[in-house]
Amino acid sequence: MDLRIVIMAGGSGTRFWPLSRQKEPKQFLPIISEKTMIEETISRLLPRIPISNISTIANSQQTEMIKRLLPEIPEKNLLVEPQGKNTAPSLMLATAQVYLQNPKAIVAALPADHLIQDSSLFLRRLEAAAAAASSGQHLITFGVPPTYPATGYGYIQFTVENPLRFGEEPFHPVQQFKEKPDLKQAEAFLERGNYYWNSGMFLWQAEVFADKLKQHAPSLFPSWQRILEAMRDTNESRLASVFEEIPSISIDYALMEKAEGTLMGKGDFGWSDVGSWSSLLDIWPQDGQGNALKGETATLDTRRCLVYNPHKFTALIGVQDLIIVDTEDALLIAHKDQDQRVKDVIELLKQKGKKEYL
């Protein structure tokens, strides 16, 4: 089977400010280990996927960083988005490139900045999902069994009975994609049991992707065709202008939510989208008081604090539930339940014209 991995590395998140900056989003940060998240993402694949089958898609600046971090990826596999857009245009571009080489090839679209704790289980599930994708008219997605009623993820409602099996793995027919719910809804989803988190990882056969676009996203299909033409002609400027006209929407919204016959594999491999600093409290090793500490630290009477300060000494005295991130030019201290408000800080910095901190 011809399995091609597309690493979506174009994100520009701000939720890890002040460590993440416009020029250095989360996928380029060493927040899970000593390696950056994109390096982790790729090295997790290498036991089963040859590097020649791994592509990335990102803007030109990000692609330069990828080159530096991962010089082993063949240059032709580094797809450059003509401009930063959402996942629908990116994946149309990436899938078109594969399609022109082999329409029967399977594309696995994986975010560059997710955590997967059990790599070998992930690879097994991935190969089964690739088998499912090559079996016919199915788009494949991974649903993560929820561990709490999260309101920060979308959900996938699926049919529990009679899953299809590929490589002994069950794949469940998807009933519906659900937007991020409120807490009450999320609690109801957990109670019903057939709602998993949408992990944002997808697989499809290149020609099935084309068929599904034609059928369920007809407004995008002409762009798809023009992408193929521009690529065949290696006409970069035409490619850029086609890309520009595609609306900046997610692949979930553009296609996955609308397509029929989608199957969901079980993403029970220790997945997290590592959505904010506080998510690392559950990921980094903790001391006996629930503190997760990167950097030389002394804690007195301190509980449930996260410290990222690898180059300095940090002393904490009598504090609880704090996110503490110290960088060369900025310091963040936030209550762990309010760390998503770093976006308000960034808004404030923009308003004040403090570009140096963005």
Sites of contact with a copy of itself (CB under 8 A): 18, 296, 298, 300-301, 309, 312-319, 322, 324, 326, 328-335, 337-339, 341-342, 344-345, 348-349, 354, 357
Residue 258 CA to residue 265 CA, distance in Å, equals 18
Q: Which is nearer to a copy of itself, 160 or 298 (CB)?
A: 298
- Please name every residue paired with 7 in a beta bridge, in sequence order, or none if there are none: 56, 110
Q: What DSSP designation does 256 have?
A: I
Q: Which helix (H) or strand (E) holds 161?
A: none
User: What's the min distance (Å) between Cβ of 208 and a copy of itself?
Assistant: 45
Compute the CA torsion angle 276, 281, 285, 286 (nearest 10 deg): 160
Q: Which helix (H) or strand (E) holds 113?
A: none
Q: Which is nearer to a copy of itself, 239 or 292 (CB)?
A: 292
Residue 324 CA to residue 314 CA, distance in Å, equals 10
Q: Which is nearer to a copy of itself, 168 or 329 (CB)?
A: 329
Q: Which is nearer to a copy of itself, 20 or 56 (CB)?
A: 20
Q: Which is nearer to a copy of itself, 254 or 292 (CB)?
A: 292
User: What's the min distance (Å) between Cβ of 91 and a copy of itself?
Assistant: 34
Query: 66, 45 in Cβ contact below 8 A?
Result: no
User: What's the min distance (Å) between Cβ of 350 and a copy of itself?
Assistant: 12
Q: Give backbone dihedrals phi and psi of 248, rounded to 5 degrees, phi first.
A: -85, 75
Q: Which is nearer to a copy of itself, 82 or 295 (CB)?
A: 295
What residue has token string 């408000």?
A: 341
- Report the candidate in 320, 319, 316, 322 with the shortest Cα–Cα distance to residue 299: 316
Structure tokens at 102: 């082999």
Cis before 18 (ω within 30): yes
Q: Which is nearer to a copy of itself, 254 or 334 (CB)?
A: 334
User: What's the min distance (Å) between Cβ of 301 and a copy of itself?
Assistant: 7
Residue 356 CA to residue 353 CA, distance in Å, equals 9
Residue 294 CA to residue 281 CA, distance in Å, equals 11
User: What's the min distance (Å) between Cβ of 229 and a copy of itself?
Assistant: 48
User: What's the min distance (Å) between Cβ of 325 and a copy of itself?
Assistant: 9
User: What's the min distance (Å) between Cβ of 287 and a copy of itself?
Assistant: 15
Query: 128, 265 in Cβ contact below 8 A?
Result: yes
User: What's the min distance (Å) between Cβ of 275 and a copy of itself?
Assistant: 16
- Please name every residue paired with 125 in a beta bridge, in sequence order, or none if there are none: none
Q: Which is nearer to a copy of itself, 100 or 298 (CB)?
A: 298
